[in-house]
Structure 1
Amino acid sequence: MQSYVPIEMVLNGSRVPCTVEADQTLVDFLRQQRGLTGTHIGCDTVSCGACTVLLDGRAVKSCSVLAVQCDQREVLTVEGLRDDDFPMLRQAFQECFAIQCGFCTPGFLLTSAELIRAGKPMDRKQIAEQLTGNYCRCTGYQPILNAIEQVLHRLDGEQR
């Protein structure tokens, strides 16, 4: 017999009361109950990063988090990543051709959002290290690194 648990989370800026299965992963909850299919299922082994979301502002792989663990917490998916939060991020991904098939893109965008929010100056090697939990089989990573580097340089220029 399946056990259900009532929880409440802030999902993409809105308070969401819901009932989840006790053993349901966050990625399954997002996709099946909320229809947020931008969070992709790539490996189910916490390797690829396609399911990355921000949980309380930190990038996590939602295949490794139970939905019940998100009670009273904030979850941000790619659908909730608004352009006014990161106006340059999506633009840079487009300009640098960092999007090809698009399967890994949501995970990279959210991981990048956490990196950008940190506000720390980073060189290309440090950016690459921050992205090690995300796989891309199409771009060869260089366009993704170029896009993030472009955003960080633009933001650095605005702060002067």
Structure 2
Amino acid sequence: MDGNGPVGVVVMGVSGCGKSSLGAALAAAGGWPFLEGDDFHPAANIARMRAGLPLDDADRAPWLAALAAAIAGHLHAGRSVVASCSALKRAYRDTLRQAGPLRFIYLPVPPGELRRRMRERSHFMPPALLDSQLATLEEPAADEGALVLPPAPPEAMLAQARAWLARR
């Protein structure tokens, strides 16, 4: 927390973009809690994704509400917090914004690189679902004030994110 009060930061993007890695690093650098968005999915959502079935708005609603509640708990307790969440649509980001003051960091990554990353990791989200996420994605609009961080070395992305947050 700084003189401006606590802030919530959501590192967003499709599966494989690096949101968990950057989010965890950003939280550690600030001494803030980190909320892994995947941990807030109901078991039914994880089962759907493991089966190769994309989530729809109804599937995502309880997940987003749970994550927003967790973020709100930290903010209301006076703690800044970092969360990872795909936050694919503006409506989803609006749900998260109900938690309190949020800043979004968007990680756009070319589809070919996303597919490569997804093949090389162990995760419940199969690479076959990437196309549905890309089709659902509504990149943050200019009025949302998100920081857009294209792929770069992790240290450089962390430094850019920290400098951006320091200017808030």
TM-score tier, shorter chain, comes to under 0.3
Looking at CA atoms only, which structure, 1 or 2, has the larger radius of gyration? 1
Q: Structure with the greater relative contact order (CA < 8 A, sep ≥ 6): 1 or 2?
A: 2
Structure with the larger strand share: 1
Q: TM-score, normalised by structure 2?
A: 0.24
Q: TM-score, normalised by structure 1?
A: 0.24
